[in-house]
Structure 1
Amino acid sequence: MSDTKTEHMNDHLSEPTSIFGLSLWIVLGVCVGAAFVLVLVLISLYLASKRSKNKTLQTPTIPIVSKEIRVDHVGTQIQAYPYPEPDPLRELRGKLCSSLQRKRAQLGTRKFTLILARTIGLLTRNGVGGGYGIVYHGVLEDKTHIAVKNLLNNKGQAEKEFKVEVEAIGRVRHKNLVRLLGFCAEGAHRMLVYEYVNNGNLEQWIHGDVGPVSPLSWEIRMNIILKTAKGLSYLHEGLEPKVIHRDIKSSNILLDKQWNAKVSDFGLAKLIGSERSYITTRVMGTFGYVAPEYASTGMLNERSDVYSFGILIMEIITGRNPVDYNQPPGEVNLVEWLKKMISNREPEKVLDPKLSEKPRSRALKKALLVALKCVDPNALKRPKMGHVVHMLEAEEAPFKDDGRSIRDLGCSDVDNVKDGLKEKWRHQEEKQ
């Protein structure tokens, strides 16, 4: 009986169908094969999209910061404009060409006029920086990428003084400083040509739209802080005369694809010889980053950069701007808010909510205490950048008790926290 059913089924499968007269079993075989191929295609597409997604996560696109604030005097906001600022590119090219036809500026053995002459037609409208000018991305004939900054608000800057300082900075070589390739100075025109760093600036990655989770992990942020400190330490302690940057802020810290930090933008930098402890100059800098004694007196030295660096550490840890009027009352000023949180024994609550993982208590404690030392209202109590590098590189936190956090120190205010740090660090140095 079963054999009869089997023969009947075989006869049925062998019958020709309306599909090109093919037998039913051939049609079924084709359908099964097609389904199998379709499944393979879908699996390969899924794997390809997953690889593409992973690649996107590994190399995220540079976010755009919605607004940039130009400030040429502490407490004076000149203008807030959408990023990048609209600029008459044709007029800029005309000024550059006119300036170069009349005068050649030379840095080392390479003439900047030759660099810029080949770059005029390749300047792009998309600025890659902002505060005191607009930075354009250029490409040389040899395919070398450069950044050309057209400085703004140059009234009062003497051409001779500008040349001397920029020429001195142009000879500086350090892996954590953006290399200055050339400059142009004539009349009111000031231009700087830098090496091009290809992953945007720190401000974009902290304050730009990066989604709910920042690609800047705690380790990456601490590495950025350390590399920036090393660059500043070289400017302050590795050169004669020493170089005061005068505009340390997140938008002037450039990043490469490996998240290595490079300090950029020396348009406001000043030189101080070993025989002088400070110079008096027009107050320049970005609101929120400028040291209080420099803002009030115009007296400038390396301690002014240390203060700005302390603000930068706080910005990197918290993800907040130094001054943010969108925050609730009492939280507008970053320094005052952070001090309040530490006084209330809530240091963990200052962390950037976009951090993928929270750091260990000891690591957070060390970073916050270094920042507090750098922004000490008494400039003489601030550490030198070389000492800051030493503190950041030390494997041990300023306090060796692993289980203790800042709130466990029994300090009722921030001054006690800083005094405790100072005392503990003195004992540690004496042991070394």
Structure 2
Amino acid sequence: MQKVTSSATQADVASLAAGITVDKSVEFTYQELFNATEGFNITHKIGQGGFGAVYYAELVGEKAAIKKMDMQATQEFLAELKVLTHVHHLNLVRLIGYSTESSLFLVYEFVENGNLSQHLRGTGYEPLSWAERVQIALDSARGLEYIHEHTVPVYIHRDIKSANILIDKNTRAKVADFGLTKLTEVGGASLQTRVVGTFGYMPPEYVRYGDISRKVDVYAFGVVLYELISGKDAIVRPTDGSASASRGLVYLFEEALTALDPKEGLQKLIDPKLGDDYPVDAILMMMHLANACTTEDPKLRPTMRSVAVALMTLSSMSEFWDMKNPGLVNLMSGR
């Protein structure tokens, strides 16, 4: 694909988009998107990201989320279009269509239950149970494993974070936001690139040298595992709002794991919303898995395939524990 600059014209973008193999039936007109959102009315707006606003609509008989992107986001638009027209998986958000008229638009399936960050830290959401957290982790890992292992070429997401993991009505997860995705050859060495992404989720080799490999996603996923355990953000800020005292979640867990008596420190990091409703062994397993994912040397981090296998074991443990949970047994028996 020809290189795109931020000053690319609308005609340039349309030409490049046409060069990507897509089903032409998914190319919408601007008028279709305008009508579906009642003129991009504020009442349809459901989100705002770094590259533009997101609107709810109903198109071609299904609920949709329309991302309206700035013309300066040409590279991100084409990256998402290229990935999501070639990659299809239950745990990756599905692209319905696109448009390059008047602006840049990507049309996705509507995932109705917000994102993981909102469920962990937002208001108006029921606390996630331990079993739900493990299932969300497993779903996300499977989506990442797919783009890392089962596509040609393979892809590196580069912006894995809780805000980019969408939750559906059944509390199942889909990985979203492929605007920073890089493709690489299978088995290829790490690449060097400009640093983009979200602080708190980026590994040392990427921040320092711009080195990028699939292990960049593994590190970020480890941070998400820590979020699932703690409910905390990737960067933990003190209650007085002092930025200078902010600590990375990875650092807080490493500090607890390496303490003389790690149990007390780790206990303080567990999300209070879980109460006592979790199997201690499973929590510890997820902590150690997250620790392996966020180790400083990328060569020592597991692959997403290994992470998914570990989470399958955790999922089985958590389901078995749920069945033994007295509260659940009483509920099921009507007591």
Question: What TM-score do you get using the length of structure 2 for normalisation?
Answer: 0.78
Deviation at 1:230, TM superposition (A): 0.5
202-211 vs 120-129, which moves further: 120-129
SS in 1 for 2:54: strand
Q: Is the 8 A contact 1:366 1:397 kept in 2?
A: no
Matches within 5 A, 1:204-353: 204-210=118-124, 214-274=126-186, 276-327=188-239, 332-344=247-259, 345=262, 346=264, 347-353=266-272
What do residues 391-429 of structure 1 show as CA deviations (whole Å, max 9, x unaligned)?
11126999xxxxxxxxxxxxxxxxxxxxxxxxxxxxxxx
1:114 and 2:32 correspond? no
What do residues 202-260 of structure 1 show as CA deviations (whole Å, max 9, x unaligned)?
1111111147xx43001101110011000000010011110111110111110111100
Deviation at 1:172, TM superposition (A): 1.1
CA distance 1:129–1:234, shift in 2 (3 Å): farther
Gaps of 5+ in 2: 1-8, 318-335
Detail structure 1 runs of 4+ shifted over 4 Å in the superposition.
102-107, 184-187, 327-331, 395-398
SS in 2 for 1:267: coil
Deviation at 1:154, TM superposition (A): 3.7
Deviation at 1:335, TM superposition (A): 1.2
Q: Which of these residues, 344, 364, 389, is aligned with residue 283 of structure 2?
A: 364
Q: Is the 8 A contact 1:217 1:356 kept in 2?
A: no
What is the distance in 1 between the residues matched to 2:47 and 2:28?
Answer: 22
Matches within 5 A, 1:75-94: none
What is the identity, as a one-letter code, of the residue corresponding to 1:199? N
Deviation at 1:327, TM superposition (A): 4.6
What is the distance in 1 between the residues matched to 2:300 and 2:277?
Answer: 30
Percent of matched pairs sharing the same residue? 35
What is the identity, as a one-letter code, of the residue corresponding to 2:281? R
CA distance 1:131–1:313, shift in 2 (3 Å): farther
State the partner residue of 1:35.
none
What is the identity, as a one-letter code, of the residue corresponding to 1:173? H
CA distance 1:131–1:363, shift in 2 (3 Å): farther
CA distance 1:280–1:183, shift in 2 (3 Å): farther
SS in 1 for 2:66: strand
State the partner residue of 1:130.
49
State the partner residue of 1:15.
none
SS in 2 for 1:254: strand
Q: Which of these residues, 144, 147, 156, is aligned with residue 62 of structure 2?
A: 144
CA distance 1:301–1:191, shift in 2 (3 Å): farther
State the partner residue of 2:328.
none
SS in 2 for 1:174: coil
Matches within 5 A, 1:42-121: 103=14, 105-106=17-18, 108-114=22-28, 116-121=30-35
1:173 and 2:85 correspond? no
State the partner residue of 1:86.
none
Question: What TM-score do you get using the length of structure 1 for normalisation?
Answer: 0.61
Gaps of 5+ in 1: 1-97, 399-432
CA distance 1:163–1:348, shift in 2 (3 Å): same
What is the identity, as a one-letter code, of the residue corresponding to 2:117? E
Deviation at 1:336, TM superposition (A): 1.1
Q: Is the 8 A contact 1:129 1:251 kept in 2?
A: no
CA distance 1:315–1:373, shift in 2 (3 Å): same
SS in 2 for 1:312: helix
What do residues 69-95 of structure 1 show as CA deviations (whole Å, max 9, x unaligned)?
xxxxxxxxxxxxxxxxxxxxxxxxxxx
What is the identity, as a one-letter code, of the residue corresponding to 1:285? G
Q: Which of these residues, 82, 89, 108, is aligned with residue 194 of structure 1?
A: 108
What is the distance in 2 between the residues matched to 1:112 and 1:260?
Answer: 26
Q: Which of these residues, 372, 382, 386, is aligned with residue 301 of structure 2?
A: 382
Q: Is the 8 A contact 1:362 1:397 kept in 2?
A: no
What is the identity, as a one-letter code, of the residue corresponding to 1:351? I
What is the distance in 2 between the residues matched to 1:260 and 1:116?
Answer: 32
State the partner residue of 2:322.
none
What is the distance in 1 between the residues matched to 2:269 and 2:314?
Answer: 23
SS in 2 for 1:364: helix
Rg larger in structure: 1
What is the distance in 2 between the residues matched to 1:128 and 1:291?
Answer: 27
What is the identity, as a one-letter code, of the residue corresponding to 2:219? Y
What is the distance in 2 between the residues matched to 1:193 and 1:391?
Answer: 34
SS in 1 for 2:308: helix
What is the identity, as a one-letter code, of the residue corresponding to 2:140? T
Matches within 5 A, 1:153-168: 154=72, 163=78, 166-168=81-83
What is the distance in 1 between the residues matched to 2:51 and 2:177?
Answer: 9
Deviation at 1:331, TM superposition (A): 6.4
Higher relative contact order (CA 8 A, sep 6+): 2
CA distance 1:290–1:185, shift in 2 (3 Å): farther
Aligned length, in residue pairs? 293
